[in-house]
Amino acid sequence: MRFREPGLRSILVAALLCALVLAGCRDEPVASQVEIGDGSVTISGDDAVVAALNWTPPAVTLPAEDPEAALVQAGEALAADDLYATADSAIPLYLGLASVPGYERASARGLQRAQARLLELGAQALVEVDTLDSAAGMRAAHEFAAVARYLAPGDPAVVAYLERVDQADRLRELNRAAERALQAGDLGESGGGALALFRQVLAERPGQPRAMQGMAAVESAMIRRAELAAEAADYRLASEWLTHAADIRPGFPTVEDARRRLEGVRAAHVRRLRDEGVDALPRINGVSVARARLAQIIAIAEPGDPVANDLRERIDRAVHYGDFRPGQVFTDALEGGARGPQMIVLPHGGFMMGALPGDDDAADNERPRHGVRFERGFAMGVREVSVGEFRRFVDATGYQSRAMRRGFSMAYDERTGNFLRRSNVDWRSDYVGRPAGDTMPVLHVSAKDAQAYVDWLSAQSGHRYRLPSEAEFEYAFRSGSSERFPWGEGTPPEGTGNMTGALDRSPSGRRWGNAFPDYGDGYWGPAPTGAFRPNSWGVHDLAGNVSEWMADCWHENYRRAPEDGSAWINPGCRNQVIRGGSWASSPAQTRASWRALAQVDTTNARLGFRVVREL
């Protein structure tokens, strides 16, 4: 729509607005009269509320012999939105016809339609003011208001429109003041400033686009200040700015995204300092350098930051103890600059291996219960080996897994609820045979595939990696306890792991027939590695997610089993032990002592593996 600005109209608007501003600056209602041409406008306390300005219809001369032509002309002008600007516009013509005998009703109907269209165009102008800060739109809205007030000052629709014009004036000035404050850097994090002004607009007009954009700009400015603080390594100040920004638009992800980004910057900075400290430790005066890096970390990290604690403990060990300590998490460097799986050092010690007395779910192959002692600690994978980690091995070696060579594996079938043979399913696939993400545990791998991976990992790192012995697995699973389940008995606590729960549902609504009551983990199928909290020794998913290959050959019981925790291996064995419940295992198969056999070439959607590293 094009807003008309006839003749001296802009001069009239400017003069009247000046009068309005002068009247509005008084504490009490004021009445004054401004002479403009042959008309006048009176501005009082009440008039200022609606920001009205007068309109005088242009003089219209109607042909006495043909008023019908004037009526037709008025209708055409109305259709063309030529409402009031000249003597040939619709409203002046209809006003002129009002005094012609016999045309009073036609005039009234025409004026009614013209008034409705006038208010409609005024509403459009106010939308333009809201969204584009249009000066032309604001002038047009005022002109429409003046004409509407002339036509029907007491009409409820006109009064409502005049109030909207007045509100648009107020909000426009508030927005402008807020934007000036924003440009000046007065954001208002401590009160006042741009933030308070934009909020004042939104209190009166919730969702007003210009104010909403202004709020987003204030939020963006605060985030930028947080980024600048982070660049200067002042992460506490950065956090303060993000806290201010978070109060501006609750529910929007912008601040949390920035927080994660800056936390990533801080975490990278902390890790870099830690790595510099660790690298310095073996060198001359390395402890002094490492202590200086630790002081820098403490200055920028949150209290209790695990990376700071790690460097502190490394310094203590370098001074007093030497290499590893229980609970230490590490990754080994591989050729080409990559890192191996994340490992955690488990303590040396002893435990009673096998089924507990009175365990009705235990099979004979879980007995006799016997003592095992580890004279030396060992490192275990914090998580199951992921698809991405296995992919690195395959890309480096061109290895062809068992399922790839034979062209199939056992995958879950949602239609039947069973595990069925499916073609073109291998380590790259998920539990139903679709492409698997890199953070998912690798499935569809045989014991020989797992062994090939640990052999490659050993060659890459220069350290001995292998599959766990089942004694090591149960030792880590129990993590110092002597219960059937890691949590004791009954329903697992929320977030324990990916196991069969009565609250779990498959994509088509299937339920488990034998499950932990009142438990659900949100997954039907494996979860990404490490998605649930670790056990007390820092190892994830030993009780659930996927069952895992052990290094041991299968034996029917523990008679003559090694007492030092090593794997019980017979050369050339065709069956190996699997341990740990999976996402589709019954509660009985989630117990610490549960064990089962599988042929070494077995591949399916419930079976993966993790690694152990000797120290």
Q: What is the pLDDT of residues 364-423, one digit of tens each?
A: 999 999 999 998 889 999 999 999 999 999 999 999 999 999 999 999 999 999 999 999
pTM of the predicted model as reported, rounded to 2 decimal places: 0.52
Are 134 and 214 in the same domain?
A: no
Q: How far is CA 376 from CA 372, 455, 461, 615, in A?
A: 12, 22, 21, 8
User: How many contiguous H segments (helices) and E segments (strands) does the chain have?
Assistant: 17, 15
Are 84 and 200 in the same domain?
A: no
Are 140 and 215 in the same domain?
A: no
Q: What is the pLDDT of residues 17-42, one digit of tens each?
A: 333 333 333 333 333 333 323 322 22
Q: How confident is the model at residue 63 (pLDDT cuts 50, 70, 90)?
A: confident
Are 181 and 143 in the same domain?
A: no
pLDDT value at position 358? 94
Q: What is the pLDDT of residues 378-390, one digit of tens each?
A: 999 999 999 999 9
Residue 302 lies in a domain: no
Residue 563: CB atoms within 10 A of its CB come to: 13
Residue 21 lies in a domain: yes
Q: How confident is the model at residue 257 (pLDDT cuts 50, 70, 90)?
A: very high
Are 191 and 61 in the same domain?
A: no
Helices (H), 152-208: 156-183, 193-204
Are 236 and 383 in the same domain?
A: no
Q: How confident is the model at residue 246 (pLDDT cuts 50, 70, 90)?
A: very high
- Range 573-587 average pLDDT: 97
Q: Around 494, how many Cα atoms within 13 Å sit in the side-chain half-sphere?
A: 2
Residue 25's identity, in one-letter code, is C
Q: Which of 252, 278, 308 is the last residue of a domain?
A: 252
Residue 164 lies in a domain: no
pLDDT value at position 317? 64
CA angle 375, 379, 384 (to 5 degrees): 135
pLDDT over threshold 70, residue 153: yes
Are 469 and 556 in the same domain?
A: yes
Q: Which of 193, 227, 252 is the last residue of a domain?
A: 252
Residue 481 lies in a domain: yes
Residue 278 lies in a domain: no
Are 237 and 93 in the same domain?
A: no
Contact partners, residue 285, CB within 8 Å, separation at least 6: none
Are 377 and 516 in the same domain?
A: yes
Q: Which of 234, 252, 270 is the last residue of a domain?
A: 252
Are 76 and 115 in the same domain?
A: yes
Domain that holds residue 475: 349-397+440-614
- What CATH number should be reported for the domain holding residue 604? 3.90.1580.10
Residue 239 lies in a domain: yes
Question: Please, what is the average pLDDT of the chain?
Answer: 89
Residue 263 lies in a domain: no
Count of the separate structural domains present in the chain: 3
Are 126 and 16 in the same domain?
A: yes
Are 468 and 573 in the same domain?
A: yes
String of DSSP letters for 441-455? BP-S--HHHHHHHHH
Helices (H), 205-305: 209-231, 235-246, 254-280, 286-300
pLDDT over threshold 70, residue 9: no
For the ranges 244-258, 302-316, 452-466, 596-610, which has the lowest average pLDDT? 302-316
Q: What are phi and psi of 523, to 5 degrees?
A: -125, 140
Residue 310 lies in a domain: no
Q: Around 204, how many Cα atoms within 13 Å sit in the side-chain half-sphere?
A: 17
d(CA 311, CA 286): 12
Q: How confident is the model at residue 307 (pLDDT cuts 50, 70, 90)?
A: very high
Strand partners, 373: 350
d(CA 53, CA 161): 13
- Range 476-500 average pLDDT: 95
